[in-house]
Amino acid sequence: MGLFDFLSNDGEKKPVQQPAANPAGATDFFGNKAGAAAQPAAAAGTSYTVVSGDSLSKIAKRHYGDASKWHQIYDANKATIGANPDHIEVGQVLTLPTL
């Protein structure tokens, strides 16, 4: 319905079409799936058990191919690792977020 259509419809009311509730494949403004529950990155990752000789940068290099991605692993596992990212323990189970 255009801006001036109301002048030529002789008072006849036209039904307004409502958009579909959630059409398949719909996304929001940012490209996220519409209606999908927001999940933190950590929930969408895989788990990894720390072995002797590991560091966050070694794990990042092995898993992502880039040692500088250790920050993402640390951010996803602050509750498990604690305040010092250099102190991880053998046997700790870390979540490796999907990037």
Residue with the larger pLDDT of the pair 69 and 9: 69
pLDDT at 90 over 80: yes
- Per-residue pLDDT reduced to its tens digit, 22-78: 556 666 666 666 554 444 444 567 999 999 999 999 999 999 999 999 999 999 999
pLDDT score for 88: 95
**Predicted local confidence at residue 41, as pLDDT:** 43
DSSP assignment string, 17-34: PPPPSS-TT-B-TTSPBT
Assign domain 41-99 one CATH number from 3.30.1490.190, 3.40.50.2000, 3.10.350.10, 3.40.640.10. 3.10.350.10
Q: The pTM is what?
A: 0.56
Quote the pLDDT of residue 75.
94
Would you kindly state where each structural domain of the chain is located, as residue ranges? 41-99
